[in-house]
Amino acid sequence: MLPVVLGLAILGLWWGAYAAGMFPVGTVPSPVDVITAFGHELASGRLLDDTIASLYRVAWGFIGAVVFAVPLGLVVGRHARTRDALLPWINFFRSLSPIAWIPFAIIWFGVGDPPAIFIIFIATLFQVALATAAAAGSVPKIYYRVAEDLGLEGAQVLIKVTLPAILPQLVTALRVAIGVAWMVVVAAEMIAVRSGLGFLIVDARNGLRMDLVVCGMITVGVLGIVLDALFSRLARIPSVRWGFDR
């Protein structure tokens, strides 16, 4: 309830300031225009199309990255020599802003979905790999002794002990990563494609439609909250909850 009240209060302030003529012309749209723009964009179906386009890119980039990052992180976390060799490089690439990859993304993949998906992939891959490696490196030794007693060996240990042992930390890492991916997709779409919420925002700005810019920003923010809420639910899975309950 409190967030809704606060939101209405901000809306009221915004409205009041706009009505009082406190903003120079063209810098801040009126709330009425924003709401009207929302109505138009929803009715025309463009907002939905752009939202789906953005979510589609995030989904593929994110899933692709997780598929590579988790096994990579497990091996880096458990195998000392691999860790020594790869950790500095994972750190190097993690420190690079995903936006810095945009020139290559366009040269390698042209325009459309692939360059955007590639940038999401890059943005998520190194982060999740690093978080997985850190978690896998700090699994209590006692679990491995028990595993040895139980006759587990090699890949079985990785799948039956290391992976479940790091799941709570992995869930937290995925939650952070999806947030980053969602931020990055907007930036990528401003440059590499002609659809998606990022494109909607930059296209609106080019047409000096600040009401539409705000409309796009609100949509991005709301979907960010929804994605985070969905990922936070992963922590309630019974075999993950132990990491959060104690």
Partner 1 sequence: MSEILELKCVGFDYGALKVIDGLDMEVHPGELVVCVGPSGCGKSTLLSLLAGHLQPTRGTITRQGQTRTIYQDGGLFPWLTVRENIALSKSKNVDDWLQITRLGEFADHYPHQLSGGMRQRVELARALAAETDILLMDEPFSALDYQTRNRMRRELVATLAERPRTVVFVTHDIEEAVQIADRVVVLGLRPTSVRRVLDLPPGRSRNPASPGVAEAEQAIMEELGLT
Question: Which residues in this chain contact partner 1 in the complex, by CB under 8 A?
Answer: 140, 142-143, 145-146, 148-150, 161, 164-165, 167, 238-243, 245-246
CB of residue 246 to partner 1, shortest distance in Å: 5
All residues at 6 or more sequence positions from 204 whose CB lies less than 8 Å from its CB, including other chains: 210, 211, 212, 213, 215, 216
For residue 235, which of 245, 225, 224 has the smallest C-alpha distance?
245
Minimum CB distance to partner 1 smaller for 85 or for 146: 146
CB of residue 163 to partner 1, shortest distance in Å: 9
Using CA atoms, how far residue 164 sits from 80, 131, 132, 245, in Å, is 20, 15, 12, 16
Minimum CB distance to partner 1 smaller for 167 or for 174: 167
CB of residue 158 to partner 1, shortest distance in Å: 14
State the DSSP code for 57.
Answer: H
Minimum CB distance to partner 1 smaller for 43 or for 142: 142
For residue 31, which of 202, 204, 214, 200 has the smallest C-alpha distance?
214
Three-state secondary-structure class, residue 188: helix
Minimum CB distance to partner 1 smaller for 104 or for 242: 242
CB of residue 140 to partner 1, shortest distance in Å: 7
Minimum CB distance to partner 1 smaller for 165 or for 191: 165
Residue type for position 236: R
CB of residue 68 to partner 1, shortest distance in Å: 24
Using CA atoms, how far residue 172 sits from 22, 58, 129, in Å, is 43, 18, 13
